[in-house]
């Protein structure tokens, strides 16, 4: 394997926190390859990242040429390094100023203003549309951990091997034609995909027949693939721009794709920022924080789904799906540790005991220590996952008088 040394990209934690963004249910293939490093096979290379307070450190490992060369291969050029940088900037959607977006959303929504400061640096990734489609078909009635396991199995069985990090193999995501074989559905069932196996297999056949150009043709022209030039996407309406509505409707023709999966693909794979995926988790947020759940919106029907999405689009505009993802992340149990601190409470009790034959009373001290947790605000500049230790020691003394 040929290796590019670590390089630096200045970016603050408030603009991008990879430990939050890579674990909040957008992408399911990133793995921690070391204590503070994340790795992914992407576009024919293994990309590895780590982060400190003001810098993303990155490197890429490329596979060796299988046949031996008569002359040594040339060193990695600056153009290849620039390509890696461009890929990172595109994939992490680094062009928008996230601080300004947070301010815009907070000024329109008191609930966002309350929750968002604890979860800065959440960015919407620009993933491949096909990967997003399959990943979110796997998300049906599932949790992030199990979805990640399924996607990893899919890559190990059907994706091209790019290389290893240590002894761990990294495979790129399989293309549609590799999942169209007659035995694929049964094999996926054997791997634990359940009913999703049929959906993945049939959708792969449909996309292979329609062609990847069909899927990419549903993309937001303001958010082209890497290297493409953006173009206007039309007027923003209550239900989203015309191109978003068309993309959503066409995705519903695929197997295993309902409104929520279609919205996830639109948002995370096709660049439609106004797409607002509504599942039971978001339904809970809408009831608790936005007064849904009564009258005609007492259950999560199609009408309620659309009403919630339209409400968020009215609040947050054409990047409503991004703002929604921040609140979704804030509600995930995965990140509850950043809001919890250990508080130690000590109670000191003095007991006065009169002993026979003694000249005076004997004072015995009994100290009881109790540990409890309380929710606190972690400052945005703190690294995600760090638990802030708080020691709040209080002393309570009580004396019992000597009996006469």
Q: Would you please indicate which residues are annotated as catalytic (active-site) residues?
A: 260
The half-sphere exposure of 372 on its side-chain side, counting CA atoms within 13 A, is: 7
Q: How far apart are CA 169 and CA 363, in angstroms?
A: 66
Alpha helices for 232-271 (secondary structure H): 242-251, 259-268
How far, CA to CA in Å, does 371 sit from each of 343, 346, 367, 390?
Answer: 6, 9, 13, 11
Say how many C-beta atoms besides its own lie within 10 A of residue 299's C-beta: 9
Residues 6+ apart with CB under 8 A from 317: 104, 236, 274
Tell the residue number behind the tokens 């959906």, with chain if given.
Answer: 199
47 φ, ψ (degrees, to nearest 5) = -100, 130
Closest CA to 341 of 365, 377, 297: 377
Closest CA to 131 of 99, 73, 174, 96: 174
Residues forming beta bridges with residue 38, ordered by sequence position? 32, 49
Say how many C-beta atoms besides its own lie within 10 A of residue 129's C-beta: 24
340 φ, ψ (degrees, to nearest 5) = -115, 130
276 φ, ψ (degrees, to nearest 5) = -125, 95
Tell the residue number behind the tokens 């030039």, with chain if given.
Answer: 229
Do 61 and 46 contact (CB within 8 A), yes or no? yes
Alpha helices for 109-183 (secondary structure H): 110-115, 129-137, 144-158
Residues 6+ apart with CB under 8 A from 398: 349, 350
Q: How far apart are CA 128 and CA 41, in angstroms?
A: 13
């Amino acid at each position: 394997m040929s290796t590019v040394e670590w390089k630096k990209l200045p970016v603050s934690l408030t603009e991008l926190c990879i430990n939050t963004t890579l674990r909040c249910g957008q992408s399911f293939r990133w793995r921690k390859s070391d204590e503070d490093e994340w790795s992914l096979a992407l576009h024919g290379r293994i990309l590895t990242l780590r982060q400190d307070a003001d810098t993303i450190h990155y490197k890429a490992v490329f596979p060796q040429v299988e046949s031996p060369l008569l002359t040594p291969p040339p060193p990695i050029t600056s153009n290849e390094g620039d390509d890696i940088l461009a890929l990172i900037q595109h994939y992490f959607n680094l062009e928008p100023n996230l601080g300004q977006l947070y301010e815009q959303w907070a000024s329109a929504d008191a609930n966002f203003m309350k929750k968002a400061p604890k979860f800065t640096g959440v960015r919407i990734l620009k993933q491949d549309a096909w990967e997003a489609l399959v990943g979110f078909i796997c998300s049906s009635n599932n949790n992030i951990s199990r979805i990640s396991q399924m996607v990893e199995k899919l890559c190990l069985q059907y994706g091209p091997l790019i290389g290893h990090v240590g002894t761990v193999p990294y495979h790129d995501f399989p293309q549609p034609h590799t999942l169209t074989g007659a035995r694929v559905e049964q094999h996926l069932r054997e791997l634990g995909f359940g009913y999703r196996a049929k959906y993945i297999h049939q959708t792969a056949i449909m996309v292979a027949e329609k062609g990847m150009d069909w899927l990419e043709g549903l993309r937001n022209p303001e958010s082209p693939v890497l290297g493409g030039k953006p173009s206007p996407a039309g007027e923003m309406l209550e239900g989203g721009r015309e191109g978003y509505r068309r993309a959503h409707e066409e995705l519903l023709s695929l197997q295993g794709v309902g409104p929520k999966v279609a919205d996830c693909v639109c948002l995370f794979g096709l660049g439609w920022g106004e797409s607002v995926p509504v599942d039971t988790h978001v339904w809970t947020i809408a009831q608790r924080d936005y007064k849904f759940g009564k009258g005609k919106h007492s259950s999560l029907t199609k009408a309620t789904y659309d009403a919630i999405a339209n409400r968020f689009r009215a609040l947050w505009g054409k990047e409503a799906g991004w703002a929604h993802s921040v609140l979704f992340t804030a509600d995930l149990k995965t990140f509850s540790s950043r809001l919890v601190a250990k508080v130690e409470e000590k109670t000191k009790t003095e007991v006065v005991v009169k002993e026979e034959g003694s000249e005076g009373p004997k004072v015995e001290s009994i100290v009881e220590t109790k540990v409890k947790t309380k929710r606190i605000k972690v400052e945005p500049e703190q690294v995600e996952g760090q638990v802030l230790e708080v020691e709040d020691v209080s002393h309570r003394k009580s004396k019992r008088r000597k009996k006469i």
